[in-house]
Amino acid sequence: MLKIVEKTKIMFAISLFIIVIGMGFLATRGLNLGIDFTGGAVLNVSMNQEFKKADVDKIIDKYAKNQYLSKTVDDGKDYEVTIKSDALTADEIATMVKEIKTQFKSSELASQDTTGASVGSELKSKAVLALIIAVICMLVYIGFRFEFKFATAAIIALLHDVLITLGVYAVFQIPVNATFIAAILTIIGYSINDTIVIFDRIRENQKKMRKASIDQITNESITETMPRSINTVATTLFTIVAVYVFVPSIRDLSLPLIIGILVGCYSSIFIASPVWVILKKRNKKATT
């Protein structure tokens, strides 16, 4: 039987250390919000010839110096540029694209997506609302299905997952777009599912192991569900990592899923269950 509860202080310290670093970067540097939130334009140019990214960047510097992000995609065959919402007008963008086509004869504008700043602001508020509603619904369900202490522990674990994921994005300044919100909601659902499996086993073992301590019941329950948790996470990660490697166009979704699923597996074992033990022991002390 694994001694998970006995390592609570160590695991909490590790998580707290990671969260503090992430929140420090979040407070000082903030998130690298994409145009879905800030507004702007994304241009995809099919180059159809060999080119140097620096040569294309020189053209864009004439129009939007320090107001854009650029990268090569599709193994360096295409060029993508993200321009801040207040940097260029539609006519200026058209002029810039025309100059790129003039210098690179085989190039053509593959796509252009524009988002207004007001739309981005509305998206941010709706994203926060979606997260709040999801957490409240889970709190109510788990509280009704199990008990309120289980629900509290689960929500703390979910908060842990979200904070660490946000911290990683803040530290490495990974762009955050609308797909990130979808990924966070998916992470929450996946993590809570893993946590509920352990909580359900704890509830069953409470009936079977009436003479055992809370620590023993929790350790036994985690030990029994550990293979299931690891196997589920491993098979899921194999798929998502494959998608991340071979389908670059949806890395905005697959990357946060990889981070969140790993963190969610960790929190369901080392955070949620020990938090429940702490709450259970406090409740016993209060009633004695």
Same domain, 123 and 100: no
Tens of pLDDT, residue by residue over 28-67, are 998 888 777 777 888 889 988 888 899 999 999 988 888 8
The per-residue pLDDT of the chain, averaged, comes to 87
Average pLDDT rounded to a whole number, residues 204-226: 90
Number of independent structural domains in the chain: 2
What is the reported pLDDT for 110? Answer: 86
What is the reported pLDDT for 160? Answer: 93
Domain boundary residue among 61, 96, 115? Answer: 115
CA distance 156 to 272: 7
Give the CATH number of the domain where residue 73 resides: 3.30.70.2380
What is the reported pLDDT for 33? Answer: 81
Domain boundary residue among 115, 131, 151? Answer: 115
Residue 102 above 70 pLDDT? yes
CB 216 within 8 A of CB 273: no
Closest CA to 197 of 232, 238, 239: 232
What is the reported pLDDT for 254? Answer: 92
Same domain, 23 and 148: yes
Average pLDDT rounded to a whole number, residues 180-190: 87
What is the reported pLDDT for 118? Answer: 61
Same domain, 62 and 187: no
Same domain, 50 and 73: yes
CA distance 49 to 41: 24
- Choose from 5-9, 89-93, 173-177 the range with maximum mean pLDDT: 5-9
Domain boundary residue among 87, 115, 143? Answer: 115
Whole-number percent of the chain with pLDDT over 70: 95
Instruction: Give the domain range for residue 265.
Output: 5-34+119-287
Same domain, 180 and 127: yes
Average pLDDT rounded to a whole number, residues 125-154: 83
What is the reported pLDDT for 2? Answer: 80
Same domain, 12 and 147: yes
Same domain, 84 and 10: no
Same domain, 160 and 55: no
Residue 286 above 80 pLDDT? no
What is the reported pLDDT for 287? Answer: 63
Same domain, 136 and 224: yes
CA distance 249 to 251: 6
Give the CATH number of the domain where residue 15 resides: 1.20.1640.10
* Neighbour-count burial for 54-81, b at 16+ CB within 10 Å, e otherwise: eebeebbeebbeebbebeeeeeeebbbb
Same domain, 169 and 91: no
Same domain, 140 and 204: yes
Average pLDDT rounded to a whole number, residues 57-81: 86
Same domain, 45 and 63: yes
Residue 85 above 90 pLDDT? no
